[in-house]
Copies of this chain bind each other. A is one copy, B any other.
Amino acid sequence: MPGPTTMFIGVIGVGGVGKAFLGQLEQLRLRLSKANPAIDLRLILLRRSNKQLFSESWQGVSIKDAVSELDKVNTPLLSLQETFDYLATAPGKVVLVDNTSDQTLANSYPVILRKGISIVTPNKKAFSGNFELWSDIFKAAANGTGSPSDGYVFHESSVGAGLPVISTLKELVETGDEVTKIEGVFSGTMSFLFNSFMPVGGGGGKFSAEVKKAKELGFTEPDPRDDLNGLDVARKLTILARLAGLKVQSPTSFPVESLIPKELESCNSGDEFLQKLPEFDNQMEELKASAAKEGKVVRFVGSIDVPSQAVKVGLEKFDASHPIAALKGSDNIINFYTQRYGSNPLIVQGAGAGGEVTAMGVTGDLLKVIRQLQ
């Protein structure tokens, strides 16, 4: 029989983050049960786009073997609704881990939470889409304005992966500080690109060559236009602005500078785009030269000015001595300017992408839920 500290866990998504999470979940299960044998984490669902694995007996499946077991499944895929119904009938507390970037699944969060199922996720879609979905999610959450029988929802990894960005902002707000401005580099891809294109001290290759290099090194999406359009950063800014109290309607409701030249918007493929991009290197070289003349460097940043409710994403120039200019590799940096911290911001910096660090934020959120539900 499941005890009061049995937690039933369903995982959707078995990509880079999903696989890293399963590794961390197995470690966590062992560590927690060693500290307290009554704590019992059971994986009762593993699902990807075309297959799903269940634990019909509620005993849980082996976390270590789950991915290979999933490969062997050949029963028909249940609908998402049927899957939520299955989870809701588990004889105890249930957490759904959404390791996808699926909008349809995100749209179901209010329904899932009202079934008493908690959600932890790096999926930005739920929190950065239209404002109504954001409201509906927190109206249905025990840690929003929902009822104590609703599920909890945490999404630390939706901004800056495992870096303590969302938890820090929440604590600033909840302890009564006044956040005046948030500014930073929120994309590992953009960080790598501009740290290479225009390093402090000079040097750096042509912009199109740096994009190509970033793609080859695996620092971009399969189609680099998905990074260069700025939407990923706009989604993160939307989330932070809402947490800071601004009613941002959507990630397209404020100015977002795309680095895709207008003339290349109609390219049929990422390859065609990469082939034609060198024709536009001159524009970026001019920008680089004008910044250099002022002793500055160019970076792709997002900023939220809270009093004026101004959110924007795009290229800006920074003094070479500015922490944003000094960033290394593909690191993110997030500066929180607040009343309490005064002129020097509270800064969080480090890797903001990658399977293990993203999964770490998800595992940390799972621990928060476990603590709340224990």
A295 to chain B, nearest CB (A): 13
Considering only CB atoms, which chain B residue lies closest to A32 in the complex?
A: B174
Asked whether, in the complex, the Cβ of B35 is within 8 Å of the Cβ of A364, the reply is no
Hey, what's the 0/1 contact readout for A359-374 against B, CB within 8 Å counting as 1?
A: 0100110010001100
Residues of A within 8 A of B (CB): 24, 27-28, 31, 35, 145, 162-164, 167-168, 171-172, 174-177, 200, 321, 323, 326, 328-329, 331, 336, 340-351, 354, 356-357, 360, 363-364, 367, 371-372
Contacts A31-B176, A346-B350, A371-B372 known; 8 new A-B pairs at CB < 8 A:
A28-B174, A35-B145, A162-B175, A172-B360, A200-B321, A341-B350, A341-B351, A346-B349
Asked whether, in the complex, the Cβ of B341 is within 8 Å of the Cβ of A357, the reply is yes
A319 to chain B, nearest CB (A): 12
18 contacts between A and B (CB under 8 A): A31-B176, A35-B145, A164-B164, A164-B171, A164-B348, A171-B367, A175-B364, A323-B326, A323-B349, A336-B350, A341-B350, A344-B350, A344-B351, A346-B348, A346-B351, A347-B347, A347-B348, A347-B350
Give Cα A27–Cα B371 distance, bound, in whole angstroms. 26
Total identical chains: 2
3 smallest CB-CB distances across A and B, nearest first, come from A346-B350, A347-B349, A27-B176
Give Cα A167–Cα B371 distance, bound, in whole angstroms. 14
A137 to chain B, nearest CB (A): 17
Considering only CB atoms, which chain B residue lies closest to A327 in the complex?
A: B344
Chain B hits for A357, CB < 8 A: 340-341
Chain B hits for A331, CB < 8 A: 344
Asked whether, in the complex, the Cβ of A367 is within 8 Å of the Cβ of B174, the reply is yes
Chain B hits for A176, CB < 8 A: 24, 27-28, 31, 363
Considering only CB atoms, which chain B residue lies closest to A176 in the complex?
A: B27
Chain B hits for A321, CB < 8 A: 200, 326
Asked whether, in the complex, the Cβ of A174 is within 8 Å of the Cβ of B344, the reply is no
Asked whether, in the complex, the Cβ of A175 is within 8 Å of the Cβ of B28, the reply is yes
Chain B hits for A175, CB < 8 A: 24, 28, 162, 360, 363-364, 367
Give Cα A72–Cα B196 distance, bound, in whole angstroms. 65
Give Cα A351–Cα B345 distance, bound, in whole angstroms. 8
A332 to chain B, nearest CB (A): 10
A322 to chain B, nearest CB (A): 10
Give Cα A321–Cα B27 distance, bound, in whole angstroms. 38
Chain B hits for A171, CB < 8 A: 162, 164, 360, 364, 367
Give Cα A24–Cα B164 distance, bound, in whole angstroms. 22
A120 to chain B, nearest CB (A): 12
Give Cα A273–Cα B110 distance, bound, in whole angstroms. 65
